[in-house]
Chains A and B, each alone.
Chain A
Amino acid sequence: MKISLLVPCYNEEKSLEASIKSCLDQTRPFDELIFVNDCSKDSSPEILSRYSGFIYSYRTPKNTGNKSSAQEYGLQFINGDIVVMTDADTLLSRTFVEEIEKSFSDSQVVAVAGRVQSISYNWLTLCRAYEYAIGQNIHKVAQGYINYIFVMPGAASAFRVDAFRKNISFDHDTLTEDLDFTYKLHDRNLKIIYNPKAISYTQDPADLKNYINQLRRWFGGGWQNLLKHYTSAPLNLIMAFELSLLYFEGLIFSILLFLIIIINTWMALMLLIGYLGIATLLGVWMAIKEKRWTLAIAPFPYMILIFINAYIYLEQFIKEVIFRRRNLIWFKPERLDLKH
């Protein structure tokens, strides 16, 4: 089984070298490493050329402006049976390729979702780590049982190349291409599994401005994909269950969060204290499971973020669903220094 790597990069000088090193330092090496330079203006091309003996790097004819176009460009150079897609701000665990290879030993498996962990910087990345922990230890495990992985993470996913070329087209019509890929695979009843041992460490926004912009892309892309694929839901019972649960909950409870504060501030405070208690119990559970003790205190700053999250969720619902103002402008968060 030949395993290839595909990494698009644009102005990634702060994290690119560490990312390349982590891809090269594998217990089971990649058979082919392809980096697509999307006409970077910083020192990324020089970094790529330093590793020219180990990796292939290709430059797009002009800046494509988004990740999925750079991925589409790079896919034509892939010769492997499996392609691992990750980001240039992401580090792969040493056994990542080994784990991916194990997952594909089942011939029915077409795609594997890895586990994403947030690199620690501050309280904001701690909250993101908390969300990832809940999402991956609870939601993804349950979704694995019912055979409906909701989303293949952009920072850690792998596909069978022939199935990918046959079933997934790059439409460039949503902000979250990873979610679009996942819906397309589910539409064709192809098997996706989650491997919690294939770990990647990713940079998440460390300031509120970047955090809000990333949320706008994620939630906006989520609504765009729902509008694009919702017709498949009634014919796929598990999809109907997952989508209606996640989207109705997000929408109705986001409205409720603000409504209760206006109607009864005292009760809203009591409910938030109760919510903090439950979130802390989950935090302690996640801290034990992930052996990352700071997760136990993450629910305290997380109480502030739920208001921002709910606001952005409603804002994107109004923009994308009610007013149909489709935003396709890609947002790239500011990178921080990364060491392998």
Chain B
Amino acid sequence: MMTPFIGLSTFIHILLILIYRLFHLKQGSHLFIYKHRSIKALLGLFIIFGMFSFIFVSAVFMLHASVTEEHSSIHIIGNYINSFNYYES
């Protein structure tokens, strides 16, 4: 395996298997075939960018949830500092 752990890619590959089996697509047939080199290159870059965005947005979503959640160390440190401010005031 070229990934360090079982993750999103596993589920995307399960989806691919389901798509090919449900729609009885022929093994080895590509979903999209573009012969023109420049269109292909553009589409290739679009796929790479799309994949990066999808994974990056998923990661940012999880990161955001962990920061805003009540047990976040940022919250705990913030509350600790605030408690000092409260006693001082």
Contact = CB atoms under 8 A, between A and B. Distances in A.
A248 B43 CA distance: 18
Given A235-B41, A248-B56, A282 B4 contact: no
Interface stretch (A9-17, A146-154, A322-330): A146-154
A235 B42 CA distance: 8
Contacts of B81: none
Nearest to B67: A263
A269 to B, nearest CB: 9
Q: Is the interface of B mostly helix, strand, loop or mixed?
A: helix
Contact of A234 (B14, B48, B51): B48
A143 B74 CA distance: 42
With a 10 A CB-CB cut-off, give which of B6, B7, B10, B55 has the most chain A CB atoms: B6
Given A139-B9, A150-B2, A310-B4, A267 B69 contact: yes
Nearest to B52: A248
B63 A131 contact: no
Contacts, number: 154
A150 B13 CA distance: 12
Contact of A264 (B8, B31, B52, B66): B66
A245 B30 contact: no
A303 to B, nearest CB: 10
Contacts of B66: 260, 263-264, 267-268
A252 B40 CA distance: 26
17 contacts: A138-B10, A142-B17, A145-B16, A145-B27, A145-B28, A219-B2, A233-B44, A234-B48, A240-B47, A243-B48, A244-B47, A253-B5, A260-B63, A263-B66, A263-B74, A264-B66, A271-B62
Interface of A: 131-132, 134-135, 138-139, 141-147, 150-151, 179, 191, 218-219, 222, 233-238, 240-241, 243-250, 252-256, 259-260, 262-268, 271, 279, 282, 306, 309-310, 312-313
Given A145-B28, A282-B10, 18 more contacts: A131-B1, A132-B1, A147-B29, A150-B2, A179-B2, A233-B44, A236-B44, A238-B30, A241-B47, A243-B48, A244-B51, A249-B9, A249-B55, A253-B7, A256-B63, A264-B67, A271-B62, A310-B4
